[in-house]
Structure 1
Amino acid sequence: MPDRVPPADGVSPAADGVPTGGPDRAPAVVDGVAHVPERVSAVPDRSTLRLALVVGGLVLAVLLGFGLGRLDGGGPSAAAGAESALSGHSHAPGTGAHEHGADQGAAAQAGGLSVSSAGYTLAPLAATFTAGRPGELRFQVRDAQRRPVTRFAVVHDKPMHLIVVRRDLTGYQHLHPTMAADGTWSVPLTLPQAGVWRAYADFTALADDGRQTAVTLGVDLTAPGVYRPRQLPTPASSAMVDGFAVGYQGTPQAGLTVPLTFRFDSPAGRPALERHLGAYGHLVALREGDLGYLHVHPEPQPVDGAVTFWVTTPDPGRYRLFLDFQVAGVVRTAEFTLDVP
């Protein structure tokens, strides 16, 4: 490249065509008018620095908030679907009964009371069974356009949790259907006694744009015959199942998030709890009368063999608690009756 030859008048042209002075800042003369260039500092002034820091902080806050929301499965859809995982968050040691914000309070309403919610509908292909005879429950989850939904998030190791119980809160079953390519779910099901049964589909649907919506839908199943409803056992904080003594400490209160700590014992000593569906226990609470559904997961780790669940009961009433736990590869269910003042 040839050497650049300076203009004869000693003035260097700027990028925008306006001449500037040389290193000694000699004035440049254009059309008889002298132009003295301003000295430009390489160090930005304080106002520029403050503006850069503010903008950078805002960008960082947005990025951090987005990342945390992704970790929590966050966003409005996740909050709206919290009915299927109430109190599914950890609390610092020593935390007592407390209230949550308005969003959490709204999400703490019992689910499973409707066949349709949040744009999704539970559609059983048949709802009548023969009492005591093995059968199969087949159903679809359909969107607002009545199309079968085929994309679901895996939550606690399964894309679909199905709870079945008779309307007198007996005969509890926790099942996991499988889905065909056309969005039809199926699972073997036996309704051991005549009566009206309630089936809850607890799932998180995935929209085409990636949004997740957690929903619990409920539908009645019937087993024709003579129905003899049973009275609930009296409230108690301890229960026996297959030789295991299970008891809890804590007093739920309507509208508050309260810890219930469950302890396990057996003639051979404290049993070694195992993970079942990704957690050290699964707690379902059903409200007597309307069979409102609460599904609560525990703290990540047991403490001294005890498992703590943070339970939010939205309203006073009598509830039936069903606690699934696993020892030596076998899943058992302890049941409790609870009165919430």
Structure 2
Amino acid sequence: MKLTANLPEPEEFGFEIVTRPRPPAPGRPTQFQFSVLEPKSRRLVRDFEVVHERIFHLFVIAENLEFFAHEHPQQTRDGRFRFSMALPHPGGYRFVADCYPRGATPQFLVRTIYTAGARPAGLPALAADRRPKQADNLRVELATEPAEPIAGKETLLFFRLSPGDGVEQYLGAWGHLLAASHDLIDLMHDHPLYVTPGPQIQFNAIFPRAVPYRVWVQFQRLGVVNTVAFTLPVKALS
């Protein structure tokens, strides 16, 4: 008898966003409604697997890369997800939903929302920034191997945290990382590969292109989630 793996074929699900008001007014609370839709039938998806303690992770990134949020909208009775937030300034924002529809494959769904008063914007000029960062109650230092990341090759990212006491898991992981290219085309969400005494927390990443990337990381200490950002230029393979 021939054995076959009963695995679903990977398909991209639909992702719809409705805002109130429409378009959002910068600096004022906006109500957001998110719907995940089946690929062919476009029926609303209501059942999701729990991944890292939530069924729906949402990342919001401004096109100038100066705003980042990691949120968890609540699912309501009709199966949609809702929450409220204020987008701080006029412009475009990438909304990235990380979810796992039951019986399907994990999804990383992206849509762009523009506020009222948004104007065409050029790409942000990102200079390298590896300086240690001080967040709410945690200092974060970054080292990479190789020292200059190479497009298409694996980069090891080592984050050293201080003080070392009281560091805790956040949403079932020792850290969360989201990397975005300067043009918001490449988006990656990842979790640590290793944790060593210090503590030092290691992520492994492959940056697809030779462009600058903004990297946000989140670590929890004594119940406080600390978010910091670094900027890494990525060079072409010579």
Query: 2:156 corresponds to which residue?
Result: 259
Pairing 1:1-341 to 2, within 5 Å after superposition: 75=7, 77=9, 118-126=11-19, 128-143=23-38, 144-207=40-103, 212-225=104-117, 231-232=124-125, 234-238=127-131, 239-242=133-136, 244-250=138-144, 251=146, 252-265=149-162, 269-299=163-193, 301-341=195-235
Deviation at 1:276, TM superposition (A): 0.3
The TM-score, its normalising length taken from structure 1, stands at 0.61
In structure 2, C-alpha distance between the alignment counterparts of 1:234 and 1:119, rounded to whole Å: 34
The TM-score, its normalising length taken from structure 2, stands at 0.85
SS at match of 2:216: strand
SS at match of 1:314: coil
In structure 1, C-alpha distance between the alignment counterparts of 2:225 and 2:125, rounded to whole Å: 23
In structure 1, C-alpha distance between the alignment counterparts of 2:139 and 2:154, rounded to whole Å: 25
For structure 1, which segment, 254-263 or 244-253, has the greater mean C-alpha deviation from structure 2 after superposition?
Answer: 244-253
Aligned residues: 227
SS at match of 1:205: coil
The residue type paired with residue 24 of structure 2 is F
Cα shift readout 1:120-152 (whole Å, capped 9, x = no counterpart)? 111112362111111221020111211000111
In structure 1, C-alpha distance between the alignment counterparts of 2:12 and 2:214, rounded to whole Å: 29
Deviation at 1:247, TM superposition (A): 1.4
In structure 2, C-alpha distance between the alignment counterparts of 1:229 and 1:328, rounded to whole Å: 40
Q: Judge conservation of contact 1:164–1:199 (CA < 8 Å) in 2.
A: yes
The residue type paired with residue 89 of structure 2 is Q
In structure 2, C-alpha distance between the alignment counterparts of 1:278 and 1:292, rounded to whole Å: 25
The residue type paired with residue 223 of structure 1 is T
Deviation at 1:186, TM superposition (A): 0.5
Alignment identity in percent? 28
The residue type paired with residue 49 of structure 2 is A
Larger radius of gyration between Structure 1 and Structure 2: 1
Task: Give the direction of change, closer, same or farther, for the CA distance of 1:213–1:156 in structure 2 (3 Å limit).
Answer: same
Deviation at 1:226, TM superposition (A): 6.3
Q: Judge conservation of contact 1:280–1:300 (CA < 8 Å) in 2.
A: no
For structure 1, which segment, 298-307 or 309-318, has the greater mean C-alpha deviation from structure 2 after superposition?
Answer: 298-307
Q: Write 1 or 2 for the structure with the bigger share of helix.
A: 1
Task: Give the direction of change, closer, same or farther, for the CA distance of 1:177–1:302 in structure 2 (3 Å limit).
Answer: farther
Q: Write 1 or 2 for the structure with the bigger share of strand.
A: 2
In structure 1, C-alpha distance between the alignment counterparts of 2:232 and 2:98, rounded to whole Å: 23
